[in-house]
Amino acid sequence: VPVFVGVTEGLVIDLDDLAAKADQADVLMLSHMRGHIVDMDALMDLAQVHNLKVIEDCAHTMGAKWGDTWSGRAGIIGCYSCQTYKHVNSGEGGLLICEDDEIMARAIMLSGSYMLYGKHRAGPPIEAFEAVRLVTPNISGRMDNLRAAILRPQLRQLEAQCAAWNDRYHVVDQGLAQVAGLTRIKRPQQEKFVASSYQFLLLDWSSAAIRSVLARCLARGVELKWFGAPDPVGFTSRYDSWTYAPSSAMPKSDRILHGVIDMRLPLTFSLDDCAIVARIIAEEVAQEAKGA
């Protein structure tokens, strides 16, 4: 049974809420959602105090760091997605990294190695498989060679790609710097982020006003996603959308999620495109705020 933890206005996990709930779980599934990285030093200190094992979902932070530590290297497992819109893209698939021999042995068995695990060139010592090889089911979750071949050249270009995304992010962020009623996300100095998408908040706006901004932006060619709609659209689901898992209301987080606006920043956008997008958003938000 999962225990959901709240989010801050910086769009990262609420460490105070985590501390209050840490004794209810053994594992923290930490998502660096949309590329926002929490203070990992503080989080790992808290996890150590409460004996929490941390698994990092780095679907949006491949190539990012907190301080000098790569995203995915603080917890016991780092998970990376290669699905569409991610920092390397093979349509589907993903990979994980871990330095724990037993965990990696179990992962390789789960992936569908059958009894060929000894051929895995990145696997742990053969002895690590003895305790797990006959008690771990095969779910055939492995990446195929064709997808891996598509991804390898992209890994060599990752640093340049990350820089290009951040260039686009900074153009949009600068364009929205002086817009009344719009809250930009503050990024800590220690966070060496990769911004393949952009988020801002329309805090405490009514649903009608937010829908009006989204509709007017869309009419001008700028499609924005909203996490505050009652039903998820595309990738905008929230904890209370997941009816297969029980949850309790989190009013502070609900207020923030209601105001989260999200937009991808594909590398097909030029810097001039990003400036135009920012200008359209700024004009429509300002117009709505003035009318309200």
- What structural domains and CATH numbers belong to the chain? 15-156 (3.40.640.10), 158-291 (3.90.1150.10)
| pLDDT computed for residue 259 by the predictor | 98
Averaged pLDDT for residues 272-280: 98
Assign 292 a pLDDT band (cuts: 50, 70, 90): low
93-105 burial code (b ≥16 CB/10 A, e <16): bbebebeeeebbb
Supply the DSSP string of 7-57, one letter for each residue. B-TTSSB-HHHHHHHGGG-SEEEEE-GGG----HHHHHHHHHHTT-EEEEE
- DSSP H or E segment with residue 221: none
| Strand 27-31 with 197-201, pairing | unpaired
How confident is the prediction for the chain on average, in pLDDT? 95
pTM of the model: 0.93
Q: What pLDDT, in 10s, does the model give residues 145-204?
A: 899 999 999 999 999 999 999 999 999 999 999 999 999 999 999 999 999 999 999 999
Per cent of the chain over pLDDT 70 is 100
Checking if the pLDDT of 49 tops 90, the result is: yes
Kindly report the backbone phi and psi dihedral angles of residue 168, in degrees, each rounded to the nearest multiple of 5, phi listed first: -70, -40
Structure tokens, 229: 């709609």
The pLDDT assigned to 150 comes to 94
Q: What is the DSSP letter of 162?
A: H
The span from the CA of 273 to the CA of 78, in Å, is: 34
> How many degrees, rounded to 5, is the angle at CA 53 between CA 82 and CA 155?
25
pLDDT tens-digit profile of 254-274?
A: 999 999 999 999 999 999 999
Q: What is the pLDDT, as a whole number, of residue 195?
A: 95
What's the pLDDT score for residue 141? 86
As a whole number of angstroms, the distance between CA 18 and CA 15 comes to 5
Rounded-to-integer distance, Cα 274 and Cα 175, Å: 9
Mean pLDDT in residue range 131-145: 92
Nearest to 257 by CA among 279, 243, 237: 237
CA-nearest of 4, 10, 33 to 236 is 33
Cβ neighbours of residue 211 under 8 Å, at least 6 residues apart? 226
User: What are the structure tokens assigned to 184, written together?
Assistant: 């930009």
Q: Name the band, by pLDDT with cuts 50, 70 and 90, for residue 291.
A: confident
Six token digits for residue 86: 């991610």
pLDDT of residue 84: 87
CA dist 96 and 15 (Å) reads 25
Is a pLDDT exceeding 70 seen at residue 54? yes
Give the pLDDT mean for 116-144. 93
